[in-house]
Amino acid sequence: MSVRLGVLKKKELVDLAADLGVSAEGFKSDIESRIVEHLSSNTDLLSTDPKYASFYVFETRGTSMRRGRRTPKPDEKSAIDLSPTPFHVAVPFSTDSDLPSPAGSVSDFAGGIATTSSRVTELFSSAKDSVVDKVDSVSIVAKKMTARARTGLSTISTLNKLENGYELLCLLLHVLPRVVKVTSFKVPYGPKFSTPAFYVPDYKTLTDYSAFWQPLLFWAAYFIVIPLVVAYFFNFTTAKPARARGRFTVDPLTFNVTKLLIAYLLFISCTSVTETVIAGSTTVTASKIMEPSIPFVKSEPIVATVLSKTPFIGSTIGALMALYTAILA
């Protein structure tokens, strides 16, 4: 009985493809198609080779691509000849061949059962190989995404962005507190639904300049803009060649040191030197360093209370990581 290519596992097909000198890349079905094509184009040479002859079946006068069996005549039923018909034309076997009909002789019926069993085995094997290929593809994509995320997070710029993002989040949670209680919601032009009670921010605060925008502008001006400007002009990484490792448009070490110095001056050094300043219609006690910036006076104690030691910790970590990156570079 001839061996079907579809019964072979993917590893066996890869080995067979390597022996035949065809490409073993791609899914199992792709490898099998290339092998069948190669066997078809080299039938005269390979069908007589004992190593590859088992992958061929033979047909006579247009019969389907399977080993045919002779149906006995009525007067020969007492002596059924189960021997195969003579081989005339060598054709490489394909998994797309038709199932044999069980009608006819006992031998044809037995052959149909064997072929059906073989096809079921093929289907299970193909399904297994397909699942393995899909898992391999997902694994490769996951590895690439993990490597990309690791590369993106392992930079001093990402560390500074995370630090500043955390400070901004703390400020937003303070200046935009969740005070509005929600117990239901109504679908436009639809019914009203009751929900468990939860709280959402009062977005009317966005229209209040002194309560919402002043603290954010104070933080952005003193902890983002000023350190960026200083780090741009005092950039010691520009001494390296263009496109060299460790060269930045904004010096991360200068940025973190400047931010740390500003936090020290605002929150520690000048807290003991305070006086009452008139800011709009509100009297605020602020450090003398803020006197020239009257619009921001009311924001200084808010930012100092909310951020507390966060700028000191974040800037210190950023400066140490910038030094570490410079040493590695």
State residue 254's pLDDT score: 92
Phi then psi for residue 92, to 5 deg, are: -65, 140
- The domain locations on the chain are 5-150, 155-176+203-328
Q: How many CB atoms lie within 10 A of CB 267?
A: 20
The more confident residue out of 247 and 4 is: 247
pLDDT the model gives residue 9? 79
The Cα–Cα gap between 300 and 293 comes to 10
Q: How far apart are CA 282 and CA 273, in angstroms?
A: 20
Q: What's the pLDDT score for residue 67?
A: 42
Q: What is the pLDDT of residue 317?
A: 92
**Angle, CA 283 vertex, CA 282 and CA 289 arms, to 5°:** 115
- Say if residues 175 and 205 touch (Cβ distance below 8 Å): yes
- Given a cut of 90, whether residue 259 has pLDDT beyond it is yes
- Nearest by Cα to 279 from 264, 263, 290, 269: 290
Percent of the chain with pLDDT strictly greater than 70: 68
What pLDDT, in 10s, does the model give residues 85-115? 444 444 454 444 444 444 445 666 666 676 7
Name the pLDDT band for 57 (thresholds 50, 70, 90): low
Return d(Cα 285, Cα 283) in angstroms, integer.
7
Closest CA to 260 of 302, 211, 216, 322: 322
Per-residue pLDDT at 131 exceeds 60: yes
- The model's pLDDT over 280-305, given as tens digits with 9 standing for 90+, comes to 444 555 555 554 454 555 566 777 77
